[in-house]
Structure 1
Amino acid sequence: MTTQLKQATGKVPPSGNPLVAHRYGADPYALVFGDRVYLYMTNDALEYDESGVVKENSYSSINTITVISSADLVNWTDHGAIAVAGPEGAAKWATQSWAPAAVHKVIGGKDQFFLYFANNASGIGVLSSDSPVGPWVDPIGEALILRSTPGVEDVTWLFDPAVLVDDDGKGYIYFGGGVPEGQFAEPGTARVMRLGEDMTSVVGTAEVIPAPFMFEDAGIHKWNGVYYYTYCSNFYDGERPEGSPPAGEIAYMTSDSPMGPWSYQRTILKNPGHFFGVSGNNHHAVFEFHDSWYIAYHAQTLSKAEGIANGYRSTHLNRLTHHEDGSIQEIHADYEGVQQLGTLNPYERIPAATMGWSAGVKTASLTAGGEQIVTDIENGGWIGLSGVDFGSRGAETFQASVLGLEAGGVLELHLDDPAGPLAGKLSVSAANGAEWTELKTEVHGAVGVHTLYLVFTGADGKGLFKLAAWQFTAEA
């Protein structure tokens, strides 16, 4: 019997965008630590009406933030959702968690990580951790920035933070948005403020950033001694003065100081509708990784492919270039994405929730806030991993941590295509799902660099098994 392979939706090999296809993720923000980049995202999740039909994303019930990370920018590891707001969250005073920003700082000789988030548009909170993936705690037990904070009384929307730790160790937070009635050209709602040495307090008074046609989405980065403040322009449909940013685009301003004064430059990223045929808000983050610059942004490509583009967004990645004069080259957003950095080492233990592409699988937490596993595996489902380097000797065995379910199944190892050459099979017996097992099988023909596909086969409509991690051993 031939298994009918599931079709990739949204992210189709060899394209790199959107970054993952098994979940949504909006408002990306990047943190580079060690040899990995971590992307923190608003956890868009489908909402349904009384008839079970997907309705427009209201954002009203989003109280978690998702994290993915990568060393090569093509294969991404899902670290799951951070419980941020609400009774089950770290910040119980908050009701929502939107548009995160994350940063690393060494304090007292110790690596510390800070995760800033918007409690809808009414304030900004902060969580802290000693790891980029948590666990996270609320170090102050209340909002970091509220309308009582000096200098923000007239900000329409207190949200969309971005954070910079400068070369001297001083921290700054950028935030704000919204358009007071009739003030489209000069909303005056963007702010910058000093953070305390502890990164969990603010210092002094927030200063206005005079961003033309400001709407939302603060961004900040530093290049060659120049500070770049980036933001999304508003959707005013009337006449705009020459040189003003068009509607819904990412624009930038520059300064010689993290607090300003700022000079407006131009826009660098058109609205997603220009590239992908589905418009919406525009949200981004600029970061450096291995001496190259990138821009992460969101678009409704996955939900469009699924036929439900109702405000459910996915993160994308493209290169960003600074010219010698300091100007930023306009970005062309696309499905292709970015070039893979290096290869994936299959002789290290790989979390199962690491994917270049996928179909017919989902992820879930093994324990609350813990390691992510691959679940809801369907017959014909698969995971693809790009640039897997088996070396000149090749692989001898494959082993995986699995949890058998009612039907059990087979994990097949294919090279270069889900239906490509078969390198090995791992049989997983039917079980009651009570005990994780480490299984091993022989491998043949896995030599050199390939795209590796883990293909899952078994009975239709029944639980096959769950997958936690896997690893190859090299030929002796």
Structure 2
Amino acid sequence: MFKKISLFVLVFALMLGCLPVMTAYAANNATAKLPGNSNPLMDHKFGADPYALVYNGRFYIYMSSDAFVYNSNGTVKDNDFSALTKINVISSADMVNWTDHGSIPVAGLNNANNGSGIAKWASLSWAPAVAKKTINGQDKFFLYFANGASGIGVLTSNTPIGPWTDPLGKALVTGSTPGVAGVTWLFDPAVLVDDDGSGYLYVGGGIPNTSDPASIANPKTARVLRLGADMTSIVGSAVTIDAPYLFEDSGIHKYNGKYYYSYCINFSGTHPAAYPAGEIGYMVSDSPMGPFTYKGHFLKNPYTFFGVGGNNHHAVFNFNNQWYVVYHAQTVSKAILGDGKGYRSPHINRLYYNSDGTIQEVQGNMAGIAQLANLNPYVRVEAETIGWNAGITTEASQASGGPFNNLNVTNIHNGDWIAVGNADFGSGGANRFRANVASTVGGKIEIRLDSPTGTLAGTLNVNPTGGAQNWNLLETAINNITGVHRVFLVFTGTGTSNLFNLDYWLFASDPTGTTGTRVEAESMTVGGTYAGTISSPFNGVALYANNDYASYNQYFAYSTHNISVRGASNNSGTARVDMLIGGTTAGSFYFTGTTPTVQTLYNVTHATGGQEVKLIVTTDNGTWDVFVDYVEYS
């Protein structure tokens, strides 16, 4: 998204293209989120008006889809909000590594979102708010959004990331909704599902008359509405929230039995010190419908922290009994352009309460929140799960097996990289790396620890796969990695084209005794009545009776292999052992005599991924015993 930004940047990019090909030790620089910092949450795309949902140990952030808009000469113009037709979604369990779930194509009027828009009546989707409610035993998710400043719509889903549907086919709240008359800007929803399951929607903003001091001081343009049990209907009439010096950005949360309504204070006229312009103020009530009493302010305008201002938009949430506020600031745009120009990015900082229930001033910064939990590198990690990055973007993927609306990392060039924070490899460590890639060009993935120029653990060669969405799972041996590390995948290659796309990656720890694709039998697990290890005629195992076995777990990137076993019998007769892969018989091996031989099964088809490989005696006649040296596959 940042390829076409200004004439200066384009010229600079052309100059870089004339330089010699970089080595990995000339790795590109991060844009705004520097390794070690947690803010902004992402810098490979924008996201404004953030709203948080906590669900099943993860927190999801939903945002307006800020994206550069351009003048006719190709330079970036100030944000005119015309690109806000989608909702961007990211999630994390640790505050550092964020999975990009792509965009929800909300607006559908006049062929918005290329005809894929969900709400066919809406032309825009601003400032989302999301809630979860269990209805008839099923978790249901509700996404409220603003159609510009003219009304509020709602989408529903059975998961936090979709797919989403429009249950009404029209706006939920409009200017004709009872009690809404007088609202200048009917936008910026916030939603609360109370402890008893009742739902409440908070909307509104704007100043009816900016030349009237009384209108500036008490705009009376915020509303709270009671939602029906289905969360997609309105009960009764909206109630006015008399929020002093209100501008926009309704927020709602509950703390110690009290209801906290928060909002952005306006910029107009002269304010008393208690209502500082452009900051987040808050009010408290004993009821979700009010009346609310003003208590103070807790989040300064982003300019105070980052030297770039604009509007202020936030949401307060609790995760694991700690309170946080997510808000936006123009830090990424400033890093790219030197000027925010109204393009916003999400940030999170801690929020603290005083003993009397008042809120302390939040300290915004780029450090953000220290990583809350280590990442597991031994399970599939979506490539679009990113702690830090340089140069890349994400796109919709056709690769199988990922989450709904799966993405892949793309726009990969020499020196670009992605990284995750605090991956825990344990004491045993990892000695193999796997990645699902697609490419028309090819290149390399260097696995580096702790920085983009840190210790090189190994390199995965990526050859062309026949297409940008033709996916192959590749694997390479690496130097054993133990302990906790930041992991950097540094991309290298030649030319100016996208080197390859990356869908997901993971690490593995092969059994002791594995050398390349060979597994020594003595390293396997043996079982049965008589099975055991031997030292002659080789170091291996002996299977003496029916159901004696030797087994191990093997990861298969491909579904077809030639599989060889070296073995022998205990005398001149022929002994048989069957091989099972994932519980399915792959074939049988026959060994005659005490001289070891290698038997091979060709083109064995089996399941991919982690599988149990088992050699088992099933036809022993009490005479011929099987000795096994190793298993090897290719």
Given the two structures, how large is their TM-score scaled by the length of structure 1? 0.98
Structure-2 residue corresponding to 1:263:
293
Aligned-partner Cα distance in 2 for 1:346–1:397:
11
Structure-2 residue corresponding to 1:435:
470
Structure-2 residue corresponding to 1:357:
388
Deviations along 1:250-299, whole A, 9 cap, x unmatched? 01000011001111000101100111111100000000011101000000
Alignment of 1:47-86 (within 5 A): 47-86=69-108
Contact 2:438 2:464 in 1 (8 A): no
Q: CA deviation at 1:242?
A: 4.8
- 1:142 alignment partner, one of 152, 158, 170: 170
Q: CA deviation at 1:27?
A: 0.3
Structure-1 residue corresponding to 2:255:
223
Letter in 1 for 2:453: A
Q: Does 1:184 align with 2:237?
A: no
Structure-2 residue corresponding to 1:374:
409
Aligned-partner Cα distance in 2 for 1:390–1:20:
25
Structure-1 residue corresponding to 2:194:
166
Deviations along 1:37-89, whole A, 9 cap, x unmatched? 00000010100011000001000232100000000011000000000002321
Letter in 2 for 1:195: L
Q: Does 1:341 align with 2:362?
A: no
Aligned-partner Cα distance in 1 for 2:188–2:480:
50
Structure 2: tracts of 5 or more residues without a match: 1-21, 512-634
Letter in 2 for 1:248: G
Letter in 1 for 2:204: G
Identical residues among aligned pairs (%): 56
Structure-1 residue corresponding to 2:23:
2
Letter in 2 for 1:168: D
- 1:279 alignment partner, one of 303, 309, 317: 309
Contact 1:393 1:475 in 2 (8 A): no
Structure 1: tracts of 5 or more residues without a match: none
Q: CA deviation at 1:432?
A: 3.3
Aligned-partner Cα distance in 1 for 2:88–2:498:
26
Structure-2 residue corresponding to 1:124:
152
Structure-1 residue corresponding to 2:600:
none
Deviations along 1:108-128, whole A, 9 cap, x unmatched? 100100000000000000000
Structure-2 residue corresponding to 1:44:
66
Contact 1:157 1:176 in 2 (8 A): yes
Q: Does 1:331 align with 2:344?
A: no
Structure-2 residue corresponding to 1:473:
508
Q: CA deviation at 1:146?
A: 0.1
Name segments (4+ residues, structure 1) moved above 2 Å: 1-4, 240-243
Aligned-partner Cα distance in 1 for 2:463–2:329:
41
Structure-2 residue corresponding to 1:33:
55
Aligned-partner Cα distance in 2 for 1:472–1:81:
29
Aligned-partner Cα distance in 2 for 1:174–1:322:
23
Q: Does 1:421 align with 2:449?
A: no
Q: CA deviation at 1:153?
A: 1.0
Greater Cα shift, 292-301 or 438-447? 438-447
Q: CA deviation at 1:171?
A: 0.2
Deviations along 1:139-168, whole A, 9 cap, x unmatched? 010000000100111100000000000000
Letter in 1 for 2:45: R
Structure-1 residue corresponding to 2:516:
none
SS at match of 1:303: helix
Aligned-partner Cα distance in 1 for 2:480–2:40:
31
SS at match of 1:445: strand
Letter in 1 for 2:344: R
Structure-1 residue corresponding to 2:135:
107
SS at match of 1:317: strand
Q: CA deviation at 1:367?
A: 4.6
Q: CA deviation at 1:241?
A: 3.3
Letter in 2 for 1:313: R
Structure-2 residue corresponding to 1:204:
236
Q: CA deviation at 1:378?
A: 1.3
Structure-2 residue corresponding to 1:214:
246
Structure-2 residue corresponding to 1:394:
429
Q: CA deviation at 1:429?
A: 0.4
SS at match of 2:333: helix
Contact 1:170 1:195 in 2 (8 A): yes
Given the two structures, how large is their TM-score scaled by the length of structure 2? 0.74
Q: CA deviation at 1:430?
A: 2.3
SS at match of 1:62: coil
Aligned-partner Cα distance in 2 for 1:347–1:445:
13
SS at match of 2:481: coil
Aligned-partner Cα distance in 1 for 2:437–2:368:
32
Aligned-partner Cα distance in 1 for 2:150–2:178:
15
Aligned-partner Cα distance in 2 for 1:68–1:414:
25
Q: Quickly say closer, same or farther: Cα 1:441–1:128, change in 2 above 3 A.
A: same
Aligned-partner Cα distance in 1 for 2:306–2:495:
34
SS at match of 2:277: coil
Work out which of the two has the higher radius of gyration on C-alpha atoms and give 1 or 2: 2
Contact 2:452 2:490 in 1 (8 A): yes
Aligned-partner Cα distance in 2 for 1:317–1:31:
13
Instruction: Provide the aligned C-alpha RMSD in A.
Output: 1.2
